C-alpha cells in the first residue's frame, strides 16, 4: 500500500524539477550611452588679426565708440572690455509676453608681438514683462546668441582690417606705429553764391521713428534677409527712399531697408 503512494509522489517531484531546470535566461548587454552633442557653451567664436595688442585694443575701442556701445569695463592689462546691457526685442510665447536684453564680454589675447586674438561672448537674458528679474537664455536661444556675437564681429571687423592694411612693416613696428594724419578734404570751388552757401552749410540729417515692430532688411524686398528687428519708438537716420522702402542707418555703421509704412518723422 505504501509503495503505491510513494511512486506517484516521486514521479511528480521529478517532473517538477525538470520543468524548473530550463536553459538560463539570456540578459542582453546594456548599450553604452551615446555621447552627448556639444553644448552651446562650447561655441567659442574667435578671430586672429595681424595686429599688435595695443593697435587691436585701440581699434576695437574706436569701433565701439562710433556705434555708441555702452561700456562698463575697460581693463587693457587683462584685455577685457565689457558692455552694459542693451535692450533687445520682445516676443510672445504660450500667451505670455517676454522682454530680452543682452551684453557682451570682449576678450583680447596676445598670440605674438604682431598677432592678437579677439573673442566675443554674448549673454542673452529674458523675463516675462510682468516678472521681476531676467534669467539667462543662452541655452534656450543659441541661434540668437550666435547671431548677436556675429553682429558685433561685423561692427568691429572693418576697423581692425583697415588697421591691418595700414600697419608698417617690421616685426616690432606694430607697437610703435602712430595714426596717420587725416587726409585733407578737397572742397570744390563753387561757381555761384548759392552753391557757396550750400557748400558751407552741411545738409541736416533726417531722423525717423518706428511706429511698430519693423524688420531691418539688407535689400528693399520682403523676401530679403532680416538684419534685426526694431521695436516701436526706435530712432533711425534716413538715407534714401526707393518705392515703399526707406534706407536707414543705426549705430553710424549699420544700414538696411525698412517699409515706409512702419516709419514716421521724428520730432525735432
Q: Please give the domain boundaries of the chain with CATH numbers for all domains.
A: 45-174 (3.30.530.50), 202-265 (2.30.30.40)
pLDDT at site 91 = 77
pLDDT of residue 88: 83
Q: 98: which strand partners?
A: 91, 128
Q: What is the pLDDT of residue 228?
A: 81
State the residue for C-alpha cell 540578459.
Answer: 27
Q: Produce one character per residue of 16-52: b if its CB has 16 or more CB atoms within 10 Å, e if not.
A: eeeeeeeeeeeeeeeeeeeeeeeeeeeeeeeeebbbb
Please tell me the distance from the alpha carbon of residue 264 to that of residue 241, in angstroms, as a whole number. 13
247: its cell numbers: 534706407
CB atoms within 10 A of CB 128: 14
64/67 Cα distance (integer angstroms) = 5
Contacts of 244 (CB under 8 A, 6+ apart): 259, 260, 261
Backbone torsion region of residue 150, taken as left when φ is above 0, otherwise alpha when ψ lies between -120 and 50, otherwise beta? alpha
Q: Give the other-Cβ count within 10 Å of 6's Cβ.
A: 9
Strands 226-230 and 214-217: antiparallel
Report residues of the chain scoring pLDDT below 50: 21, 25, 30-44, 171-179
Percent of the chain with pLDDT over 70: 68
Residue 98 three-state SS: strand
What is this structure's pTM?
0.48
- Whole-angstrom CA distances from 145 to 48, 87, 111, 214 are 21, 14, 26, 20
What's residue 58's pLDDT? Answer: 92
How much is the pLDDT for 15?
56
Nearest to 210, CA basis, from 230, 240, 229 = 230
Element (H, E) at 68: none
d(CA 118, CA 163): 14
Amino acid at each position: 500500500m505504501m509503495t503505491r503512494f510513494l511512486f506517484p509522489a516521486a514521479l511528480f517531484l521529478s517532473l517538477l524539477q525538470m520543468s524548473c531546470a530550463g536553459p538560463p535566461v539570456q540578459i542582453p548587454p546594456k548599450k553604452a550611452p551615446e555621447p552627448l552633442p556639444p553644448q552651446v557653451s562650447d561655441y567659442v567664436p574667435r578671430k586672429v588679426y595681424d595686429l599688435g595688442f595695443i593697435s587691436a585694443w585701440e581699434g576695437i575701442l574706436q569701433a565701439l565708440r562710433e556705434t555708441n556701445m555702452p561700456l562698463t569695463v575697460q581693463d587693457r592689462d587683462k584685455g577685457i572690455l565689457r558692455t552694459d546691457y542693451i535692450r533687445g526685442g520682445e516676443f510672445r510665447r504660450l500667451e505670455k509676453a517676454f522682454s530680452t536684453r543682452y551684453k557682451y564680454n570682449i576678450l583680447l589675447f596676445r598670440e605674438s608681438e604682431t598677432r592678437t586674438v579677439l573673442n566675443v561672448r554674448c549673454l542673452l537674458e529674458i523675463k516675462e514683462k510682468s516678472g521681476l528679474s531676467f534669467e539667462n537664455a543662452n541655452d534656450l536661444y543659441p541661434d540668437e546668441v550666435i547671431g548677436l556675437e556675429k553682429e558685433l564681429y561685423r561692427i568691429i571687423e572693418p576697423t581692425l582690417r583697415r588697421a591691418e592694411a595700414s600697419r608698417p612693416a617690421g616685426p616690432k613696428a606694430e607697437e610703435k606705429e602712430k595714426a596717420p594724419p587725416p587726409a585733407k578734404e578737397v572742397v570744390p570751388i563753387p561757381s555761384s553764391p548759392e552753391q557757396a552757401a550750400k557748400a558751407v552749410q552741411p545738409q541736416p540729417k533726417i531722423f525717423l521713428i518706428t511706429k511698430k515692430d519693423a524688420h531691418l532688411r539688407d535689400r528693399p524686398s520682403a523676401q530679403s534677409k532680416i538684419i534685426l528687428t526694431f521695436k516701436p519708438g526706435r530712432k533711425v537716420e534716413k538715407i534714401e527712399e526707393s518705392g515703399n522702402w526707406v534706407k536707414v542707418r543705426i549705430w553710424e555703421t549699420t544700414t538696411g531697408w525698412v517699409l515706409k509704412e512702419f516709419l514716421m518723422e521724428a520730432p525735432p
